[in-house]
Amino acid sequence: MSTFFLFIMIGIVCSNMQSQLADQILQAQGMSMEARIVKPKKTMTIASFLKWIKKEFPKESIQMQFKSKEDKNQVLIWSQNRDLNYFPVSSGRFFSEDDFKGRVTIAAVSPSSAASQIKTQGNTYLIANGQYYSVVGSLKAVPYQSSKAYYLTTGVKQETGQSRINHFTLYVDASSQTIGKIASHLKSETYWPDFVKQGRQRRLTLLMPEALLILFLLGVGVLLMGLIAWLTWKETDLSHVKGDLLPNLLLNRSGRFIVFMVLEAFVSYFLLVWKAYYSNQSILGLLLLGTVVVELVVYVGMMVYMYRKGKQADD
């Protein structure tokens, strides 16, 4: 059971690492590390562009932010097959996919938004370009974000969809292949957003404490394997079994231990994936696999060393 708890502890630390990185990115921008900037050169409307997206990528999970070149604080939001609940709100809510399908444009504001707002009859309205938009939510202040932005929905049927797409800088969060096709359609290159660059630069600083903790736990596992191998040898030695029976007994006991350890690693993986957060489950799998391999090498090496030392003493 000691190895099982070790696997669980390593998996929990791995989950914390991925959770911290995901929180840092999602809370700051509402986008993942896959996001890229596209600078449209076409003069088509946003509505026409969204119709093309729906036709070309009907099942793709996509989020797009259209950042106005004229009003630096205005950001139009649209998504498909994606939940936007990870935008942290202090009051109200953020947009849902149904909001992009309707005809009415609604708004959400950042905590330090400079946009004009009025309150009347218990409702808050944002005033932009002579238009009034109902405010459905206010975002929380989070680390790495000091934005004055206000967010508006856009869609095929909405008045914001009639804006020309070349008046905006487009942030696309989707698969790299989809982003490449979108950039090609809009006659643009793709660029790394600043928040992705900064996120990559901060990655080492952010994850170093957890990485050191994993190395410490791996060191504990190495010592534990050495102790278990020594106890297994001592138990076998006290049985006074000699000759050809001794290696057979050692192989039998070691084989059972190794099988149970591998099974514990599998159980740990599925339990952790079920209960903990992982943006990339393969990293957890590789981490547990590496731990098992290191521990097996230590265990087998210790057993071989003790066996040879015992044989020399008998000779």
pLDDT single digits (tens) 181-216: 999 999 999 887 766 555 554 454 556 677 788 888
| The predicted structure's pLDDT at residue 22 | 54
Angle between the N-to-C axes of helices 194-238 and 2-29, in degrees from 0 to 180, rounded to the nearest 10: 180
- State the distance between the two ends of the chain, measured CA to CA, in whole angstroms: 37
The half-sphere exposure of 303 on its side-chain side, counting CA atoms within 13 A, is 24
- Residue pLDDT, tens place only, 254-311: 888 888 888 988 998 888 888 775 656 788 888 889 888 998 899 888 888 877 776 6
| The predicted structure's pLDDT at residue 207 | 60
| The predicted structure's pLDDT at residue 299 | 85
Full-model pTM: 0.58
Q: Which residue has the higher pLDDT, 308 or 98?
A: 98
Q: Are strands 123-128 and 116-120 parallel, antiparallel or unpaired?
A: antiparallel
Grade residue 149 by pLDDT with cuts at 50, 70 and 90: confident
